[in-house]
Structures are given as structure tokens and as C-alpha cells.
Amino acid sequence: MTAPSSSTTDTRLGLRGDRGPILGALMLSTSLVALDVTILATASTTIARELGAFEQVPWLFSAYTLAQAVTVPLYGRLADVFGRKRVMLLGIGLFLLGSVLCAVAWSMPALIWFRVLQGLGAGAILPMSMTIASDIYTLAERAKTQGYLASVWAASSVLGPTLGGVFSQFVSWRWIFWVNVPIALVAAYALWRRFQEKKREGEREPIDYLGAALLTGGSTLLVLGLLEGGHAWGWASPQSVGIFVAAVVLLAAFTVSARRNAHPIFDLGLLRRRVVGASTAAGLAVGVITLGLSTYVPIYAQGVLGVGPLVAGFALASLLVGWPLAATLSGRIYLAIGFRWTAVIGAVIVLAGALLTLTLGTSSPVWHISAAVFVIGLGMGLVAVPTLLAAQHSVDWGERGAVTATNMFARSIGQAVGVAVLGAVVNAVTTVGADGTPDGPGLAYAMHLVFWCVAGVAALMIGTVLLLPRDNPRLTRSS
């Protein structure tokens, strides 16, 4: 791949200097979040052995995911008011502070709370990375830069588990968090020195603090209920019912508040725009499929095919190899045929890959499932990037952060929904073993049901991307 042009002067946005170092800083920032997703999994047993409270290990992941998901819409709005640079540096700072505190954690509860702090930082880093890249690169270049950012996830899927195992076995699990310090410092310094935004003129819009509190509270309860329902408590339990009722009440109150506020923290009117609404729906489907495969492909490979964890991990990594490859190539495609048909082609490819998983059996070779998820990854790269860029391209600078955050938030909700629905499907036909994964004679059948669900969501994805307006919406190489 040829890197995009390394320098630019954009008087419209007030961006000056070398874009190469800025993109490098964005990739480093993204690696903080991407590595954190995979590096901790291989060390969780070691951490529990040292700190105790093994039953609380799932909260190391749930607390982080929850904090990240519910803050994304808030950061998107704040970035449109205060600027991307401030919000990005805030996110890196919170993630850095959380990492240092995690590294010195003295108990499992303390570690969980410090993971929340990391999640608060991650909620800013991901949407801001994509928004800044969209700000400083032209439309023709954006798919390539998004491909670079996506490639960070592919590399982390292989590097993360390896580093986690090495640190926990030969050094200390605390280095899982210490390694974030130099990465965060270099990324923050590069952005602070190189990324310059033009100061917004005129009176600054007021912040909707009431709306922020209602949206955060309602989203927190909704994601918490979806993540923990069926695991920490039953779906029909008083805890589950109470959480979902409270979530609905708070989100309804937020809806009323947002309609009355001239500058809501999250503008619901954006979703009424066809391109943004379709992009958000596609993001929801992307979240369901990616987390569904990330959760159950390794279980299928180990529990049904009988391979080891390392081979199972490489089977899943095929998904994250195909994704950035297609994302990088998508620019040429959407410049030629538009966002809509690029996303439709991608969704059809995702469905084709999902149908390939339905041909898997109990004696299938590992390369079979690797090939299937690789095809799905190719399709995802042609769906996730063009739909996001279509939404970003449809608004001006003052709304781009909110639109990007909306797409990211939809993916997070999709992931939570995917965990809840697919987990319920699997639990209905299997028993759970001592290691917390499903086992027994129903496992192969359960995995087949999971693949059917993925295929169903892929089919729905085709319908969502068909809702995108017919392009070309000013697809020019200089825009």
C-alpha cells in the first residue's frame, strides 16, 4: 500500500503540517484500545490467581466495555463543540491514567474500577481517531487511512494474546498495562505538536448537561442489562426487569429533553436523515456479527473441531485480515460506483461468507472456518467503511463528530445485543462447563444455530444498506 500524501494545508479547517505523523499518532492511539481488547484475555487467570475473586473476572471486560460504549455519543458532541484535539487528548489522558492505576491495582475491585477509567478514555479515542482522519484527508484518501486504522486491529488480534501470555508467564501481568504508557505518551505528544485546529468563531454552544446525564444513565443500564442478562442474573429476574424498565424510563426522558433543547447532547434529528439512519442501522448489524463471530468461532474451533487455543485464535484472525484489506480497496470502488452499491456488494459478500459457515461440520478442517470468516471480513471492509464515510460526507465539520460517534455507538449496542441473543441461543441447547464455555453433545448444534443467526443478520444488513440514498453525493477526489 502507498501511504497518503504526507503534508497538507487546509485553510477551511485550519489544519496544517504533516499528516503522516498525525496518522501515525492516530494508529498508536487506536492500538491502545485494540491491544487492550485482546491482551488481557490471556492473563485473566493469572490476575485472578494473584488478586483473588475469580468470579469477578468477567467484570474486567464488562466494566471496560460498558464505560466505553455509553460515553461515545457524549464525546462526539463535545468534539463538535470544543474541537477534536481536546477530546482526543482527554481520552488518551484518561486511558493513560487508568493504565497506570491498573498496573498498581491491589485488589480485583480496584482493578475493575480502574478498568472503567480506561473505558472512559477508549470511548473518546476510537471515534476521534476516525473523525480526525476524516477531517484531514480527502474523500479519495479516507478509505485508505481507515484501512490503516483497521490494520491496527488485525495486528493486535495476533500480537495481543501473545504479549499477554508472555507478560503473565515470564514477567508480570502488570506489564500488560505498563506497556500502554510509552504508546500513549508518544501519541499524545505527536497530536499536541502536529495537529492544529482552527479555533471556532462566534459564541460557543451550551452543553446539555441534563441530556448528557439522562443519555449516559439510560445507555449504561441498557448495555449493562444486555451484557449481564442471562449470566449474572436471569432474564426474567427482578434485577433484569428493573434495569430494563429504568433504562427505558431514562431514555424516554432523554428523548423528551432532546426535543425541547436547541442544542441537545445527542441530536436525534440526525437519525432522521436517510444516510445517517441507514449508516447507523448498518453499524448495528456490524456489531452483532463481529462480536458474535469473535465469541463463538474460537469456541467452535476448540469445542467442536478439537484444536488448541492458538489455532482457534488464528482462525478468528482471518476475519481481521480480510477487513482492512477490503477497507483499503474500498476507496477505488465507492469513487467509481458510490457508497450505496459498494456497501451492497460488501453485505452480499458477508452473507456469502455466513452461508459458508453453514457448511461446517464436526470434522471440517480449520482452514474451512478460516476461509469463511475471511470472506466475511472482506465484506465487512466494504460495508463498515463506506457506510461510515457516507454519513461523515453528508454533514459539515460541526456535525461530523456526532455522526461518527453515533455509528460507533450503534456498533457497541449491536455487540451487546449480539452477546445477549446469541448467548441465549447457545445456553438454550447446551450446558456450561467449568471453564465457562458451553460443552456437551449440543455444542455442534448450538454453533450451527449461531451461524444461522449470523446469516440472518447479514441478510438484514443488505436491506439496511439498500436504504442508503442513491449516490453519487458529490463524490469528488478533492472533497
Here the cell at position 125 is 479515542
Q: Are 420 and 150 in contact (CB under 8 A)?
A: no
In terms of residues, how long is the chain?
Answer: 479
Report the alpha-carbon angle 352-355-357, nearest 5. 120
pLDDT in tens, 339-349: 899 999 999 99
- DSSP class per residue in 357-368: HTT--TT--HHH
All residues at 6 or more sequence positions from 8 whose CB lies less than 8 Å from its CB, including other chains: 15, 16, 17, 19, 136
| Nearest one of 77, 70, 71 to 261, comparing CA atoms | 77
Residue 396 is given by DSSP the state: -
| Nearest one of 449, 351, 333 to 389, comparing CA atoms | 333
H/E element holding 450?
Answer: helix 443-466
Q: What is the pLDDT along the chain (479 residues), one digit of tens a residue?
A: 444 444 443 433 444 447 888 888 999 998 888 888 777 766 776 777 788 766 677 777 778 888 888 888 888 888 888 888 899 999 999 999 999 999 998 888 899 899 989 999 998 998 898 888 888 888 778 777 877 887 787 777 667 777 777 777 778 888 889 989 999 999 999 999 888 876 666 566 777 788 888 888 888 888 888 777 776 777 788 888 999 999 999 989 988 988 888 777 777 777 888 888 999 999 999 988 987 887 788 878 877 888 776 677 777 778 878 888 888 888 888 888 888 999 999 999 999 999 999 998 888 888 898 899 999 999 998 998 889 888 888 888 778 888 888 888 888 888 878 877 887 787 777 766 555 555 556 788 888 888 999 999 999 999 999 988 876 544 444 44
Q: Are 187 and 29 in contact (CB under 8 A)?
A: yes
d(CA 284, CA 418) in angstroms, rounded, equals 10
10 Å Cβ neighbour count for 69? 27
Q: Is 349 exposed, middle or buried (0-12, 13-18, 19+ CB in 10 A)?
A: buried
Here the cell at position 442 is 449440543
d(CA 207, CA 210) in angstroms, rounded, equals 9
- pLDDT attached to residue 7: 42
Residue whose entry in the numeric block shows the C-alpha cell 436471569: 234
10 Å Cβ neighbour count for 231? 15
d(CA 26, CA 190) in angstroms, rounded, equals 9
- pLDDT attached to residue 183: 92
Q: Are 465 and 386 in contact (CB under 8 A)?
A: no
Q: Are 121 and 98 in contact (CB under 8 A)?
A: yes
Measured in whole angstroms, the distance separating CA 169 from the mean position of its chain's CA atoms is 29
- pLDDT attached to residue 99: 93
- pLDDT attached to residue 49: 77
